[in-house]
Structure 1
Amino acid sequence: MKLFARHEATVPISYGHFVLRDVWCDAGDDGESLRDAQDQVAGASTYRLTVLTPLDPFRVGLELRVWAGEPEADSSQWDGCRQLELHLPTGEMIVEQITGGAAVELALPQGAGVYGVRVYRSGEGNSQRFLIDLWWQAPLPPADDDEDFYGDLWN
């Protein structure tokens, strides 16, 4: 499978999580992500994916890979893995830290769509690390296209 992009970052964590989301969408979830936490990853909404970490402030290692299609499962040693999907109506995604802004911001080569997301995690505290594989799966459903999604904001 062709690898489009690879990013590595150290992400400072202040409030026990970081978020993957569309650059224009900050869909809230009223605590749903914390209630639904499983394997350190919770799908907060269609447009936002929350990755949970211990609550104490520290830094985690993050590797983000963008693929042309669904990649094989990573064969490295991981403590857990979860697969979800994420709607990205602008085709631009950020990895965001609460109060810290974007750790990674990228325009995805395949543009807007529904993306598969596989999140792997291992370690504890400052030695915790995450691998996130992302790939385009399908066009956005008609109700999610960019014009319809933001139309109500401009009326």
Structure 2
Amino acid sequence: MSEPSLKADIGVGIDHGQLYIYDLGAPIDLGGPDALEALDDAQNSGRYVGRSGDLVNMLSPVQWHFDAPMRVEVWAGEPAPEETGWDHVVDLDLNAPTGQLAFQAPTEEEYASCAIPHGRYRIRVSGRGYDRANPQGGGGDSYRVQLWPRTGDRPPALRQRWAGWASLMG
């Protein structure tokens, strides 16, 4: 299992230091409790990637970056851990009932999307370039989402924590 079956490079929008990740067919409410619960989970857990139902909220140390590089990879099984070169890495579950994965800033109506096989996934959300990024406005930061099929549910797991969260979040 040395290569993903699908690789896609897209630009995603981050605003207010957040990026939503979800399937377009998932029953979520971006303007309601799902968004607030995912944000609370991200902050209160110390993972800075949170989940509520089928909505993932990834926090970023940059205030905004409206064309942040995102690599999406689909694997047949869990990829080998590759934390070297990544500042922050979190694993969690995500359902993709339609296979239309959306990446959306919480303040924007538009979203970037990537077609993947529909299914139940474990995903690994990784970010890097945090120390080089301009905290007030994008550049220097980039991201990766790796997905692989799952048969059961597992709790989120913090694989690597960026040390800079302590100074940003207090």
* Cα distance change of structure 1 residues 90 and 66 upon mapping to structure 2, 3 Å threshold: same
Residue in 1 that maps onto 2:128? 122
Structure 2 matches for 1:81-96, cutoff 5 A? Answer: 81-96=89-104
Partner amino acid, structure 2, of 1:18: L
CA RMSD after TM alignment: 2.3
2:145 to 98, 118, 132: 132
Residue in 2 that maps onto 1:6? 7
Aligned residues: 136
TM-score by length of structure 2 reads 0.68
Q: Which runs of 5+ in 1 are unaligned?
A: 141-155
Partner amino acid, structure 1, of 2:115: L
* Cα distance change of structure 1 residues 58 and 93 upon mapping to structure 2, 3 Å threshold: closer
Would the aligned equivalents of 1:97 and 1:103 in 2 still touch at CA under 8 Å? Answer: no
Residue in 1 that maps onto 2:113? 104
Which stretches of structure 1, 4 residues or more, deviate above 4 A after TM superposition? none
SS of the aligned residue for 1:32 comes to helix
Write 1 or 2 for the structure with the bigger share of strand.
1
Per-residue CA shift, 1:12-45, capped at 9, x if unaligned?
A: 32332111111122513251122221333111x2
Per-residue CA shift, 1:82-116, capped at 9, x if unaligned?
A: 110012222332222331522122132xx3x3201
Q: Which runs of 5+ in 2 are unaligned?
A: 134-138, 154-170
Would the aligned equivalents of 2:26 and 2:95 in 1 still touch at CA under 8 Å? Answer: no
* Cα distance change of structure 1 residues 92 and 103 upon mapping to structure 2, 3 Å threshold: closer
Identity between Structure 1 and Structure 2 (%) = 26
State the alpha-carbon separation in 2 of the partners of residues 42 and 139 from structure 1: 19
* Cα distance change of structure 1 residues 19 and 75 upon mapping to structure 2, 3 Å threshold: same
Residue in 2 that maps onto 1:148? none
